[in-house]
Amino acid sequence: MRTSFGRIVIMMAMGTLASSSVLAEGRDVIKVVGSSTVYPFSSVVAEHFGKGGKYKTPVVESNGTGGGFKLFCAGVGIDTPDINDASRPITDSEKKTCEANGVGRVDELTIGFDGIVLAQAKGGKAFDVTLEQLYRAVAKTVTVDGKLVPNPYKSWSDIDAALPKRPISVLGPATNHGTRDAFVELVMNVGCDYSAVIKALPADEKKKTCGTMREDGAWTDVSEDYALIMGKIKNDKTAVAAFTFSYLDQNREKIQAAKINGVAPSVETIASGQYPISRPLFIYVKHAHIASVPGMADFVREYVSEKAAGKDGYLEEKGLIASPTKLLKAQQAIAKTL
């Protein structure tokens, strides 16, 4: 399992002086944007924070990890967000955008962990699929008899006779979701490495081959929220969907998950790293706004507190998997520096 032990991203603030007059106007409510996966957790923390009575309840918006970073890195000032929720780490290009726009210091905090599950409507026959088989099911290009060819598989049983004899129909996050980036990294890139032919490709060609999904209907991008996917798999009993574990955990009466590499997703298997499609979740804090937006530092401390992000905390009740003690303590230490 990949963990980020409180790494702090520091970027030089080229435009801090220019934005100081804008910041001086201030704003009386914290603005959070970003990942649809992290959105429910930030919303719950915001609700608890607002009930404290000292500050207004933060405004939390869901517009995808990448979409959130576009807003977050646009600059410093009351018209830009204070915090970005993210289901993947910030990219080098996003760091450069933040730096170019004078955002300055950005603090990264790991709030906990989540997993990506392959789920279907309750009542269907569940199955066990490997990362290689999942890659072969949804990749645009695969290897057959040592050659790269357009994906020929129509049924799961075409890939392996042990898999169900049902059409391949996978609903997954569109490219604006951090969950899509995580799916490519944790499923597609790992699954395609089973092919010696693909491993031998030049780096750019390999990246494109591993990360490009089918366009023949076997894979469907869903850019809206998970409620739409739920409706689709309810109406199509052969379809499966790439969900986050937290969503599965909240809807177990409606959906069930497949095993991946023989391991069922659970709090225990994800926290231990045994479940292969698991990942950390983050918030990114714009340090330049702390002095002008009331309660920002306190909100971040609440987020990574024991009562929220700790074992048996209120975020765990919402499906977040708590960080190991050492990692959580490291995040709390960062929050204190704010």
Kindly list the structural domains of the chain, giving each domain's residue range(s) and its CATH number in brackets, ordered by start.
Answer: 8-113+280-336 (3.40.190.10), 115-278 (3.40.190.10)
Q: Are 87 and 283 in contact (CB under 8 A)?
A: no
- pLDDT tens for the chain, 338 residues: list them: 444 444 555 554 444 444 444 455 668 999 999 998 899 999 999 999 999 999 999 999 999 899 999 999 999 999 999 999 999 999 999 999 999 999 999 999 999 998 899 999 888 787 899 999 999 999 999 999 999 999 999 999 999 999 999 999 999 988 877 788 889 989 999 999 999 999 999 999 999 999 999 999 999 998 766 777 788 888 888 899 998 888 888 888 888 999 999 999 998 898 888 999 998 999 999 999 999 999 999 999 999 999 999 988 999 888 899 998 999 999 999 999 99
Q: Which tokens belong to 241?
A: 């969907």
DSSP-derived secondary structure for 205-269: HHHHHHHPBP-SSSEEEE-S-HHHHHHHHHH-TT-EEEEEHHHHHH-TTTEEE-EETTB---HHH
pTM above 0.85, yes or no: no
Encoded amino acid at 174, one letter:
A
The 3-state DSSP class for residue 77 equals coil
